[in-house]
Amino acid sequence: MYKYILRRILIMIPMLVLISIIVFTFSKLAPGDPFTGEFDPRITKDILDKKRAMFNLYDPPYKQYLSWLKNVLQGNFGVSMRFGFPVSDLLAERIPNTLFLAITSLIITLIVSIPIGIISARRPYSLIDYSATTFGFLGLATPNFYAGLIAIYLFSIQFGWLPAQGTITAGADYTGLALFWDKFKHVIMPASTLGLAQTAGYMRYMRSEMMEVMGKDFIRTARSKGMPERVILYKHTLRNALIPIITLLGFEFGALVAGAVITENVFSWPGVGTLFLNAVINRDYPIIMAINLIIATMVLVGNLLADIFYVIVDPRIRYD
């Protein structure tokens, strides 16, 4: 098992290199560079040329890539070509916000989707099941940005219950419980928006998994032993139905960070997502590369975690 994990971690290195090459190629293929959009008349072509030379933008792309790779291996993600800040500083400031959003979203997803999925499976074709199904399809069909806007319109503008943007109330000097409550009020709407499609999907998934397991022979065996419905549902069925869900969770984590790009922008959430979108618009290569590397790493680590969880929840699976 440990050997397996070690092997998987080692395999990640060439994968990450490959991913970075692909991302680099595609961002280079996009027309323009960080300085093409410059419209300030005081900045002459000479100055722009100097700036481009400073960032080696006249070098052949493979050279640019190799020097980027060399720096990254030394732990240096470079500086933002557009703003001059070190990329690592920008990330350090924003990653906690994004993680906070992603984790909250995941928790909301699980708390909502699993119980509803179970209830739906227990009473299929009941009113609750039909409502959940309707919500599920709506949730899957509604794009994040649209759901976000609707939520802002309803809960911030119409009812005035929740703040429409940011991570904390600006200028407020909360501590302790008040700080927690303030953060909670800010995160709940973007996190729910971010998790909407996932919640809907997991709910449907949980429902069908539970129903499938309930039809299995071993459930009939448990019934024939006279086990109460509670034990059959929450022990025999749930334990089996959770196996694929837990595996999905691993994949989900990387996807959540990537998916936060849109949601963060709608809610002006100062996370990696807003940074990323601006970096793409500005062709700010060091930021694009660094964020992609982080998301790719998260997806890979998530996959590895999924495989490790698999062994824990399903005794039939062993890696040797």
Partner 1 sequence: MQTEPLLIIRDLKTYFYTDGKEVKAVDGVNFQIYKGETVALVGESGSGKSVTSMSILRLIPDPPGKIVNGEIIFNKLDLLKLSESDINEIRGNEISMIFQEPMTSLNPVFTIGEQIMEGLRHHHNLDKANARKKAIRLLQLVGFPRAEDIIDEYPHQLSGGMRQRAMIAMAMSLEPKLLIADEPTTALDVTIQAQILELMRDVKEKFNTSILLITHDLGVVAEMADRVLVMYGGQIVEEGDVYTIFESPNHPYTKGLLSSIPSLNDDKDRLESIEGTVPAAHEFPKGCRFAPRCGEKKLSICEEKLPQLQEIGNGHKVRCFLYERVEA
Contacts with partner 1 by CB under 8 A lie at 215-218, 220-229, 231, 236, 239-240, 243, 313-316
Could you tell me the smallest distance in angstroms from the CB atom of residue 211 to partner 1?
A: 11
Enumerate residues 6+ apart whose C-beta is below 8 A from 155.
Answer: 161, 162, 189
Structure tokens at 200: 């809907």
Within 10 A of 68 (CB to CB), how many other CB atoms are there? 20
Q: Which residue is it, tokens 């459930």?
A: 219
Could you tell me the smallest distance in angstroms from the CB atom of residue 91 to partner 1?
A: 41
Cβ closest to partner 1, residue 119 vs residue 219:
219
Cβ closest to partner 1, residue 238 vs residue 298:
238
Cβ closest to partner 1, residue 63 vs residue 239:
239
Could you tell me the smallest distance in angstroms from the CB atom of residue 309 to partner 1?
A: 13
Cβ closest to partner 1, residue 111 vs residue 317:
317
Could you tell me the smallest distance in angstroms from the CB atom of residue 320 to partner 1?
A: 15
Residue 267: C-alpha distances to residues 57, 124, 281 (Å): 34, 37, 19
Could you tell me the smallest distance in angstroms from the CB atom of residue 24 to partner 1?
A: 45
DSSP class of residue 225 equals T
Could you tell me the smallest distance in angstroms from the CB atom of residue 246 to partner 1?
A: 12
C-alpha–C-alpha distance, residues 15 and 103, integer Å? 25
Cβ closest to partner 1, residue 167 vs residue 237:
237
Could you tell me the smallest distance in angstroms from the CB atom of residue 118 to partner 1?
A: 17
Estimate the crossing angle of helix 176-214 against helix 87-122, to 10 degrees: 50
Q: What residues are paired with 86 via a beta bridge?
A: 79
Within 10 A of 255 (CB to CB), how many other CB atoms are there? 16
Cβ closest to partner 1, residue 158 vs residue 224:
224
25 by DSSP, 3-state: which?
Answer: helix
Residue 259: C-alpha distances to residues 99, 105, 209, 256 (Å): 12, 11, 25, 5
Cβ closest to partner 1, residue 18 vs residue 231:
231
